[in-house]
């Protein structure tokens, strides 16, 4: 939230809210007098609480009582001009008055909707003395006006019925119910606007990159694209789907050799145990992991039949049997989306721990999963086995106290370095990557934030001269334990980290640097992989 407050501090923002609070009974003269005193008290103290010197807080600039007729009338004409006469109405007792209309203005301190909720909470006590209860709120209008630089375009937003930008001011007109005020929807809208502005500010630059380690340069043994050579040798064949390969016996053996190296030199010495994480990931999981914020353009979506009654599907099957075509448009009407395919691998694991309290004795917990595929709808850049839609990854997850997680990440990086240096003998480097907005603002000052983050592993692809990110080690702080409500018996803060080992990426890097002929491979790796099997012979 640091980034957002930093922005807020230097700009102007105004909130203007008109709402009608409905009552269970008629407001008589005594009650009206009490209300008048209460509004005064609100404007003097209640709506100013917690507001700094520089701020103004909220103010009820106008209020009046209404009866049924006026409420209906008003609902049709909410934009009526304010004038002195109108302000006077508040003082008058009117027959059948069973609602209070208030207009609240505020700056960013005690935002108008928070002021309304404070008002309501305390009003209940005031009117209770006259045996009058509160019956709900109609929000008539809610306007926000804020400084906005023209270059950040916003077209439409949920709950915003009108949005205009002129003279460096963004004006929003919101349509909200009482429930949405209670859910602080206006705050969420503002947070989203600030986020969009941050994104625009950093533009294409997604992350700050800082070199941590670079291996020695290695002799170039191969300068072609290994994918093309693998296709030629039938080690890989395009699958029927986009960015998907069928891996033949030779490359599969290489993948499994990588896995054995990982088991022998990382998982065993560091005390990992294998688990099996789910591979269909529901929105419930992605809501908690945060992926529901941004995954949409890259997800592979999973849908299930609205019913598995065979009769419901009979005409679809008939259509295929008769035409030889599958009517996917009609299928779309009969299925519903429940989530997507494994994207980041560890989120669905956290359901195993959700809501549980862990005994400190069993920390650190180190588990890994290699039970299935991951899927990303990649951009045009699908290439060879470096960037594919369907890939295979061993995911390591480590959980412990902050100190345990930080020291485990270091140990993990040690083990990886050993593999890349002593077994695979590749040219590689390690870099700390930080999202730009975090790198640029106050957050870097907070010690824990400096520890949270990702170390990327990159290796040179001689055929293109580019560096490919082929693996990572991330310290995620308390993000997942917090997102999935996992606690520690001692009450200490629980942290976690993860590391994804993509078999395609390891192969892309190793084969690009060493080529496909085993005699050029380091002896250490040849011993592990053994002889590559020749199974198929095509004419």
Q: Which is nearer to its own copies, 37 or 318 (CB)?
A: 318
Among 408, 418, 426, CA closest to 510:
426
- Which residue numbers are catalytic? 346, 376, 378, 387, 395, 456, 469, 472, 498, 505
Q: Which is nearer to its own copies, 173 or 215 (CB)?
A: 173
Instruction: Locate all alpha helices (DSSP H) within 324-472, ordered by sequence.
Output: 328-332, 402-418, 436-440, 447-451
338 binds its own copies (CB under 8 A): yes
Asked if residue 406 lies in contact with residue 399, where contact means CB atoms within 8 angstroms, the answer is no
Here's the x/- map for its own copies, 277-306, by CB under 8 A: it reads as xxxxxxxxxxx----xxx-xxxxxxxxxx-
What is the nearest approach in angstroms of its own copies to the Cβ of residue 111? 15
Here's the x/- map for its own copies, 240-259, by CB under 8 A: it reads as xxx-xxxxxx--xx-xx---
Residues 471 to 500 in contact with its own copies, rule: CB under 8 A: 489
β-partners of residue 141 are 18
Q: Which is nearer to its own copies, 450 or 489 (CB)?
A: 489
237 binds its own copies (CB under 8 A): yes
Tell me how far apart the alpha carbons of residues 376 and 391 are, in angstroms, rounded to a whole number: 8
What is the nearest approach in angstroms of its own copies to the Cβ of residue 171? 18
How far, in Å, are 385, 408, 483, 523 from residue 277 at the CA level?
A: 24, 21, 18, 35
Asked if residue 14 lies in contact with residue 106, where contact means CB atoms within 8 angstroms, the answer is yes
What is the nearest approach in angstroms of its own copies to the Cβ of residue 288? 9
What is the nearest approach in angstroms of its own copies to the Cβ of residue 87? 34
Q: Which is nearer to its own copies, 105 or 376 (CB)?
A: 376
505 binds its own copies (CB under 8 A): no
Residues 353 to 392 in contact with its own copies, rule: CB under 8 A: 353, 356-359, 361-362, 365, 367, 371-373, 375, 377, 379, 389-390, 392
What is the nearest approach in angstroms of its own copies to the Cβ of residue 492? 13
What is the nearest approach in angstroms of its own copies to the Cβ of residue 479? 17
Q: CA angle, 238 as apex, 233 and 244 as ends, to 5°?
A: 130
Sign of the CA dihedral 185, 191, 195, 196?
A: positive
Question: Taking contact as CB under 8 A, which single stretch among the options 97-105, 109-117, 238-246, 262-270 is the one that binds its own copies?
Answer: 238-246
Asked if residue 349 lies in contact with residue 275, where contact means CB atoms within 8 angstroms, the answer is yes
Instruction: Locate all alpha helices (DSSP H) within 376-435, ordered by sequence.
Output: 402-418
Tell me how far apart the alpha carbons of residues 473 and 456 are, in angstroms, rounded to a whole number: 7
- Dmax (CA) for the chain in angstroms is 101
Tell me how far apart the alpha carbons of residues 68 and 25 are, in angstroms, rounded to a whole number: 12
Find all residues with CB under 8 Å of 324, minimum gap 6, and list them.
none
Asked if residue 361 lies in contact with residue 331, where contact means CB atoms within 8 angstroms, the answer is no
Asked if residue 394 lies in contact with residue 368, where contact means CB atoms within 8 angstroms, the answer is yes
Measure CA 512 to chain center.
Answer: 34
DSSP per-residue string spanning 156-210: --TTEEEEEEETTEEEEEE---HHHHHTTHHHHHHHHHHHHHHHHHHTT--EEEE
Question: Taking contact as CB under 8 A, which single stretch among the options 101-109, 212-220, 268-276, 466-474 is the one that binds its own copies?
Answer: 268-276
How would you label 56-78 residue by residue, b for 16+ Cβ within 10 Å and e otherwise?
Answer: ebbbbebbbbbbeebbeebeeee
How far, in Å, are 385, 437, 465, 516 from residue 221 at the CA level?
A: 19, 40, 14, 10
Q: Which is nearer to its own copies, 97 or 346 (CB)?
A: 346
What is the nearest approach in angstroms of its own copies to the Cβ of residue 447? 28
Q: Which is nearer to its own copies, 26 or 182 (CB)?
A: 182
User: Judged by CB under 8 A, how many residues of this single chain contact its own copies?
Assistant: 109
Among 192, 212, 194, CA closest to 434:
212
Q: Which is nearer to its own copies, 17 or 97 (CB)?
A: 17
Residues 404 to 443 in contact with its own copies, rule: CB under 8 A: none
Asked if residue 431 lies in contact with residue 458, where contact means CB atoms within 8 angstroms, the answer is yes
Task: Select the residue interacting with its own copies from 151, 273, 445, 523 (CB under 8 A).
Answer: 273
Residues 33 to 62 in contact with its own copies, rule: CB under 8 A: none
Here's the x/- map for its own copies, 192-221, by CB under 8 A: it reads as x--x--------------------------
Q: Which is nearer to its own copies, 79 or 538 (CB)?
A: 538
Residues 111 to 170 in contact with its own copies, rule: CB under 8 A: 156-159
Question: Taking contact as CB under 8 A, which single stretch among the options 57-65, 181-189, 421-429, 433-441 is the one that binds its own copies?
Answer: 181-189
What is the nearest approach in angstroms of its own copies to the Cβ of residue 56? 26
Task: Select the residue interacting with its own copies from 47, 110, 341, 452 (CB under 8 A).
Answer: 341
What is the nearest approach in angstroms of its own copies to the Cβ of residue 70? 33
Find all residues with CB under 8 Å of 65, minimum gap 6, and list them.
27, 32, 35, 89, 90, 92, 93, 94, 97, 99, 100, 101
Residues 305 to 334 in contact with its own copies, rule: CB under 8 A: 305, 307-310, 312-313, 315-324, 326, 328, 331-332
β-partners of residue 237 are 246
Q: Which is nearer to its own copies, 29 or 333 (CB)?
A: 333
Here's the x/- map for its own copies, 69-88, by CB under 8 A: it reads as --------------------
Q: Which is nearer to its own copies, 5 or 357 (CB)?
A: 357
């Amino acid at each position: 939230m640091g980034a957002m407050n930093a922005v807020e501090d230097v700009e102007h923002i105004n909130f203007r809210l008109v709402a009608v609070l409905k009552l269970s009974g008629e407001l008589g003269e005594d009650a009206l007098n009490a209300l008048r005193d209460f509004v005064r008290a609100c404007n003097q103290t209640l709506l100013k609480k917690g507001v700094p010197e520089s701020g103004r807080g909220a103010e009820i600039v106008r209020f009046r009582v209404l009866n049924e007729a006026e409420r209906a009338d008003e609902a049709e004409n909410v934009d009526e001009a304010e004038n002195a006469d109108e302000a006077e109405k508040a003082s008058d007792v009117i027959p059948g008055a069973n609602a209070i209309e208030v207009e609240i203005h505020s700056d960013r301190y005690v935002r108008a909707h928070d002021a309304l909720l404070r008002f309501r909470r305390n009003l209940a006590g005031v009117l209770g003395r006259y045996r009058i209860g509160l019956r709900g709120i109609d929000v008539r209008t809610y306007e926000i006006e804020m400084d906005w630089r023209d270059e950040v375009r916003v077209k439409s937003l949920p709950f915003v019925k009108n949005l205009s930008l002129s003279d460096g001011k963004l004006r929003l007109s919101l349509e909200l119910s009482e429930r949405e005020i209670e859910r602080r929807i206006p705050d969420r809208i503002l947070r989203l606007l600030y986020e969009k502005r941050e994104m625009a500010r950093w533009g294409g630059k997604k992350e700050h990159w800082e070199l941590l380690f670079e291996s020695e340069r290695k002799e170039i043994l191969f300068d072609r694209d290994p994918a093309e050579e693998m296709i030629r040798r039938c080690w890989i064949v395009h699958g029927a789907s986009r960015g998907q390969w069928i891996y033949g016996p030779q490359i599969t053996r290489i993948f499994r050799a990588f896995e054995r190296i990982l088991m022998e030199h990382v998982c065993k010495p560091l005390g990992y145990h294998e688990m099996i994480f789910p591979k269909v990931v529901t929105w419930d999981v992605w809501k908690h992991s945060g992926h529901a914020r941004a995954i949409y353009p890259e997800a592979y979506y999973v849908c299930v039949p609205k019913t598995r009654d065979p009769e419901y599907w009979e005409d679809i099957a008939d259509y295929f049997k008769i035409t030889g075509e599958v009517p996917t448009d009609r299928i779309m009407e009969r299925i519903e989306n429940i989530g997507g395919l494994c994207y980041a691998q560890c989120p669905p694991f956290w359901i195993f721990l959700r809501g549980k309290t862990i005994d400190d004795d069993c920390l650190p917990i180190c588990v890994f999963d290699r039970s299935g595929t991951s899927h990303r709808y990649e951009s045009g850049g699908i290439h060879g086995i470096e960037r594919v839609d369907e890939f295979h990854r061993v995911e390591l997850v480590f959980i412990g106290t902050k100190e345990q997680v930080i020291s485990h990440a270091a140990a993990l990086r040690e083990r990886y370095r050993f593999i890349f240096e002593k077994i695979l003998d590749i040219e590689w480097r390690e870099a700390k990557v930080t999202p730009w907005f975090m790198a640029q603002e106050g957050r870097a000052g907070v010690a824990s934030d400096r520890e949270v983050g990702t170390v990327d592993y990159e290796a040179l692809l001689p055929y293109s001269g580019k560096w490919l990110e082929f693996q990572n080690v991330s310290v995620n702080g308390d993000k997942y334990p917090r997102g999935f409500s996992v606690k520690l018996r001692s009450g200490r803060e629980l942290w976690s980290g993860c590391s994804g080992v993509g078999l395609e990426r390891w192969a892309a890097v190793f084969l690009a640097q060493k080529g496909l002929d085993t005699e050029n491979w380091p002896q250490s790796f040849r011993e592990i992989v053994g002889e590559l099997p020749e199974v198929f012979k095509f004419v």
